[in-house]
Amino acid sequence: MLAIIGVIVVLGCVSGGYVLSHGNMAALWQPYELVIICGAALGAFLISNPMKVVKAAFGGAMGVLKGSKYGKKEYLELLSLMFDIFATVRKEGMMAIEEHIEEPAESSIFSKYPKVVKDHHSLEFICDYLRIIVGGNMNPFEIENLMDIELDTHHHEAEQPSAAITRVSDALPGFGIVAAVLGIVITMGALSEPPDVIGAHVAAALVGTFLGILFAYGFVGPIATAMEHKAADDAKYLVCIKVCILSTLNGYSPQIAVEFGRKTLFSTDRPTFTELEEYLKEQKENKAA
């Protein structure tokens, strides 16, 4: 929603200021300038990135319109799931969760938390490490090291699309200059024309520079930054899972383990201690009912 509002504000202020200065909006409509700038930017983007990054970049750019998928409700559900898993392990032993992590979609524990189950990457992260704990003899330090390696890989992969979009943003003013230079070339070929015709050609050439800068700093650059914020939100979700699992491996009770995870969250998304306690109590009552 904020992205849409931002686009409206950028377009409204730029076009509104231009019109208030007695500018002619028709003069800004230069289709060939758009073809040169956007086409060159797209071509350079395709040259410089593999297909997986291209797909992720377009998907991430569209995802900016939806905003972050993680908020307080999502974290309450995640922490409650972790609490249920740890409580089961504490009461019945580590082997008791084996059936749950092998078929999470059919698990009586995971099925209570549909948002976590739908988040396939996070679900896989949880189940993989619980599976390692159940079947292996790795100590907490070894598991933490393995988690850090996977998270570093995830962060690097998540940053590639936004970095690719940022490079396009950096290049757009240059492509705007390319369009402007080509416009001047056209103008030089029309020097025998009347002044009003030459003026129209010069104005069209300058529109190329204007559009390149506007697209770079008004739209493409902000989209890349928004994608970075979304990637950071995704990473924080996985870090919360990591801290919860490591805390229970180090012998902390389920309540304390999820409290450690809660402390890792951004303040805007972090439920309070009381909110988490009440949510866990509500889930326990629903289970009893």
Provide CB contacts within 8 A for 90, sequence distance 6+: 253, 254
What pLDDT, on the 0 to 100 scale, is given for residue 261? 94
Centre a 10 Å sphere on the Cβ of residue 233 and count the other Cβ atoms it contains: 17
Burial string for 82-111 (b: 16+ CB within 10 Å, else e) reads: bbbbbbbbeeeeeeebeebbeebeebebbe
39 lies in some domain: no
Count: domains in the chain: 1
Residue type for position 11: L
By C-alpha distance, which of 199, 181, 85 is closest to 133?
85
27 lies in some domain: no
96 lies in some domain: yes
25 lies in some domain: no
Please give the span between the terminal C-alpha atoms of the chain, in angstroms, as a whole number: 39
Q: How do the pLDDT tens digits run along the chain, 289 residues long?
A: 788 899 899 999 998 998 888 788 888 888 899 999 999 999 999 999 999 999 999 999 988 888 788 899 999 999 999 999 999 988 888 888 888 898 888 888 898 898 998 988 999 999 999 998 887 777 888 999 999 999 999 999 999 999 999 999 999 999 999 999 999 998 888 888 888 888 888 988 999 999 999 999 999 999 999 999 999 999 999 999 999 999 998 889 999 999 999 999 999 899 999 999 998 888 877 765 5
Provide CB contacts within 8 A for 10, sequence distance 6+: 214, 218, 219
**Which residue shows structure tokens 């989209």?**
223
Report which DSSP code applies to 68.
-
188 lies in some domain: no
142 lies in some domain: yes
- Cβ atoms of residues 125 and 241 within 8 Å: yes
Q: Indicate if the alpha-carbon torsion angle 57, 62, 67, 69 is positive or negative.
A: negative
What pLDDT, on the 0 to 100 scale, is given for residue 287? 67
Question: Measured at the alpha carbon of residue 213, what is the angle toward residues 208 and 216, in degrees to the nearest 5?
Answer: 125
Domain residues for the domain of 90 are: 72-155+232-288
By C-alpha distance, which of 157, 175, 173, 167 is closest to 55?
157
Dist. CA 43–CA 63, nearest whole Å: 22
241 lies in some domain: yes
Question: What 3-state DSSP class applies to 266?
Answer: coil
Backbone angles phi, psi at 49, to 5 degrees: -130, 145
By C-alpha distance, which of 282, 276, 252 is closest to 263?
276
What pLDDT, on the 0 to 100 scale, is given for residue 50? 95
pTM for the whole structure: 0.86
29 lies in some domain: no
Dist. CA 166–CA 235, nearest whole Å: 20
